[in-house]
Amino acid sequence: MTKFGVGQSVLRREDDRLLRGEGNFVDDAQVAGLAFGYVVRSPFGHARILDIDISDAQESDGVLAIYTAKELRAAGLGAIPNDARPPTKPGTKFEERQQYPLAEEKVRYVGDPIAFVVGETYDQARDAGELVYVDFEDLPANCDTKAAINGPLVHDGVVGNIAFDWQSGDQTATEEAFSKATKIVELEVINNRVVLNAIETRGAVGQYNADDDKMTLTCGNQMPNPVRNALAKHVFKIENEKLRVITDDVGGSFGGKNQPYPEYALVLQAARDLNRSVKWISQRAEAFVSDYHGRDNVTRGQLAFDENHQIVGLRVHTYASLGAYVASGGPVSPTGGIVMISNTYRIPAIYVNVQAVYTNTVPTAPYRGAGRPEAIYLIERLLDRSAQELGVDRVELRRQNAIPLNDFPYASPAGMTYDDADILGMIDQATQLASWSSFADRRQHAKSNGRLRGIGMSNYIERCGGGAGLSEGAQMIFNEDGSVDVLSGSMSNGQGHETAFSQIVHQKLGLPFNKIRIIEGDTDRINSGTGTGGSWSIPMGGGAIAMAADDVIAKGKKIAADKLEAAESDLEFSNGQYIVAGTDIAISLPDVIAVMHSDPNLSLNADVRFTPKHYTFPYGCHICEVEIDADTGEVEVLSYVAAHDFGFALNPSLLAGQVHGGVAQGVGQAVFEHTAYDETGQLLSGSLMDYNLPRASDMPNFVFSNIALTETFVNQFGIKGCGEAGATGSPPAVINAIVDALQDFNINHVDMPATPETIWRLMNNA
């Protein structure tokens, strides 16, 4: 059993069918009478809609229906809801502007949906969509995050385009700390806007059953139940039971598919009106202007030091672009990650001010890490800059200000209490793995070959695993053939839940994998799932499955005791068997299942809910080494060390894969990826010809280690969570390495993405 139990690098169960092309993604949905949808989108960044003429489109072959905002308003459809409303500064209010499924009076970004055409085939729907005539009055656009408060208004009546003005921390204590500081170091950083770019584009299939007046939405997402709840309550204004959301295989999400989108409402409304199924699948170019974007912050941070180089205060001001509307969860990233702003350091006084602004761009939403990468990037770049200005070693500055092990649990002034973390021990592990002490020799060797070599470090700690009242459910239903259906409210998006959850069931119950079926993504069967996010699937969802298994074992003892004619207290459960202690008398779980099915009064089935008492706090140290071509400015990432304390590793190979993928995304943001708009709101990087995703050849071989220096007791297995770690630690490590490589040019900062052109210009202007 240990070969396939927890702690083992079990091969993914999912991969056999996926590699054989037997996956079931949204576009694989084939239902009778399927029609196809096409979205007519705005070509303008900001414009008034004077008229929409659909007469020619209606005469086009195969057209079944055409929707504009007028038809949806008559049907009573509401806006796409926002589920995050941060408290604003005294004297201010949240100027919430939500997006309706179709724009009516104005379009506010390139890609804003205007009309929805349904045809017998996709080509017919698209051809008709191109005949929809929209008369626009072009308006000035506002696409600069920092300058948005002085730019043209995206929404009338929103002064300075400020959606909300939010603060955190103790401003008085922070100002006092700064007044007494002997050194203040300041840095402005840009956390560049990025595009989701999941391997599977978004899609949706809407169905309607007139007999029970019920709609069904099939789409790829991380949170089927919350998506169902939001669409039912706010968009269609119906009971949850009247809408079913189904999610099967999902080709990546990274937070971008968490929430409801306009297209989901469109296919459902069309299916209800036409009484037939309607499918919409995003084209790759369409995804650039229809999927919510990530990041897009401009932040000025200041660190205050005393005469001993001890940090005494941190002051932060951020402009965060929400895009043209408040997406569902849009405010989460600029505010939610601030609780981790002090990172792994003792900072006694912190004050943060976030001004979220509207711009004529695609709305932004949580993207892998949802605010933690933005916060960690700022503090880790500030520490490197501080080491430069103070004239001290950057590793020693981190050591000196790190939270010592005996200070845990540590109450941060940013509002979070950390579990144990051996920060100094992790720095030691990472620097040893990266051969930090011999870097000077490698730098000199590179210099002799005309290359600029640099090394960079970043520490990180984040909150994961649930907490704050979040919970997840699990059910176990035993079938007559001895198999078990395990229903989880989590939702895999490629992380390998089928494998990881099966390992837990196998470890607990001793059942082979072919007797375990993991079921996710059906709101009719799983009515209260929380979904996937914040690295809580395995700690929280897996914790629920472990609890359900314990419940099964306890129920099975009664049946086994009766069958073995023994007292329950004399029974032990091990390796899938109930054994009378001190004897070889036993009965297997499959035999107990058979007994259960022979008597309708017996049941092993379990239905539990796990609510973690607190967050988990994985932490780590990343070290990146780069070389830069002095003639072209091209960056090559030579080596990368990611040392972590994730606690217990349920499946070490799945864990490593999560970290590798996250690091690749972080390196992509740091060096390659950027979403660029011009002054009129036109997206200049609207395809993979213009938007530079990293390739496998751009990545080094990663050195990854999970060293459990501390424990967590939040869940049964001591798992901390790993999903955001790579994307959180990598951007500052990479940029710190690049700045280090440019030290001879007295270049103190490089904004992301550090493209060859950016670096070449900096070197030539130095």
pLDDT digits (tens, 9 = 90+) for 721-749: 999 999 999 999 999 999 999 999 999 99
Angle at 460 between CA 493 and CA 466, to 5 degrees: 45
Question: What's the whole-model pTM score?
Answer: 0.95
What stretch of H or E contains 372?
Answer: helix 372-390
Closest by CA to 246, choosing from 206, 200, 298, is 206
Calculate what percentage of the chain has a pLDDT beyond 70: 100
- Judge whether residue 532 has pLDDT over 70: yes
Cα–Cα distance measured from residue 635 to residue 641, given in angstroms and rounded to the nearest whole number: 17
SS (H, E, C) 36-91: EEEEEECCCCCEEEEEEECHHHHCCCCEEEEECHHHHHHHCCCCCCCCCCCCCCCC
- Judge whether residue 54 has pLDDT over 60: yes
Structure tokens at 505: 């069931």
CATH architecture of the domain covering 2-22+467-610: 2-Layer Sandwich (3.30)
Cα–Cα distance measured from residue 178 to residue 414, given in angstroms and rounded to the nearest whole number: 17
222-248: pLDDT as tens digits: 999 999 999 999 999 999 999 999 999
Cα 426 to chain centroid distance, Å, stands at 25
CB neighbourhood size of 144 (10 A): 19
In the prediction, which pLDDT does 2 show? Answer: 73
Q: Are strands 35-41 and 113-119 parallel, antiparallel or unpaired?
A: antiparallel
Give one DSSP letter per residue of 429-494, joined into a string. HHHHHTTGGGHHHHHHHHHHTTEEEEEEEEEEE--BS--TT--EEEEEEE-TTS-EEEEES---SS
Cα–Cα distance measured from residue 646 to residue 704, given in angstroms and rounded to the nearest whole number: 12
In the prediction, which pLDDT does 469 show? Answer: 87
Q: Which amino acid is at 722?
A: C
- Judge whether residue 83 has pLDDT over 90: no
String of b and e for 196-234 (b: at least 16 CB within 10 Å)?
bbbebbbbbbbbbeeeeebbbbbbbbbbbbbbbbbbbeb
Q: Give start-end residues of each CATH 3.30.365.10 domain in the chain.
A: 2-22+467-610
Average pLDDT of span 250-269: 95
In the prediction, which pLDDT does 606 show? Answer: 97
Average pLDDT of span 705-731: 93
Cα 143 to chain centroid distance, Å, stands at 24
The mean of the pLDDT values for the chain is 96
Cα–Cα distance measured from residue 647 to residue 536, given in angstroms and rounded to the nearest whole number: 14
- Judge whether residue 1 has pLDDT over 60: no
Average pLDDT of span 399-404: 98
CB neighbourhood size of 551 (10 A): 17
Residue 766 pLDDT level (bands cut at 50, 70, 90): confident
Average pLDDT of span 96-101: 97
Structure tokens at 644: 């972590």
In the prediction, which pLDDT does 127 show? Answer: 98
Cα 756 to chain centroid distance, Å, stands at 28
Q: Which amino acid is at 28?
A: D
- Judge whether residue 370 has pLDDT over 70: yes
Closest by CA to 328, choosing from 263, 257, 265, 266, is 257
Residue 29 pLDDT level (bands cut at 50, 70, 90): confident
Q: Which amino acid is at 99?
A: Q
3-state secondary structure of 515: helix
Give one DSSP letter per residue of 334-350, joined into a string. HHHGGGGTTTTB--S-E
409-454: pLDDT as tens digits: 999 999 899 999 999 999 999 999 999 999 999 999 999 999 999 9
- Judge whether residue 622 has pLDDT over 80: yes
Helix orientation angle between 589-598 and 543-564, rounded to the nearest 10 degrees:
70
In the prediction, which pLDDT does 30 show? Answer: 83
Calculate what percentage of the chain has a pLDDT beyond 90: 94
Calculate the alpha carbon distances from 392 to 308, 309, 384, 408, 540 in Å: 11, 9, 10, 27, 42
| Dihedral over Cα of 156, 158, 162, 164: its sign | negative
Task: For residue 584, give the DSSP letter.
Answer: S
Residue 467 pLDDT level (bands cut at 50, 70, 90): confident
Residue 527 pLDDT level (bands cut at 50, 70, 90): confident
Q: Give start-end residues of each CATH 3.90.1170.50 domain in the chain.
A: 26-141+217-273
690-697 long-range Cβ contacts below 8 angstroms, 24+ apart: 691/195, 691/197, 691/288, 692/753, 692/755, 693/197, 693/668, 694/664, 694/667, 694/668
Average pLDDT of span 652-675: 96
SS (H, E, C) 534-552: CCCHHHHHHHHHHHHHHHH
Residue 635 pLDDT level (bands cut at 50, 70, 90): very high
Average pLDDT of span 159-180: 97
301-333: pLDDT as tens digits: 999 999 999 999 999 999 999 999 999 899 999
Question: How many residues does the structure list for the chain?
Answer: 766
Fold category of 26-141+217-273 in CATH: Aldehyde Oxidoreductase; domain 3 (3.90.1170)
Cα–Cα distance measured from residue 762 to residue 438, given in angstroms and rounded to the nearest whole number: 28
Average pLDDT of span 350-361: 98
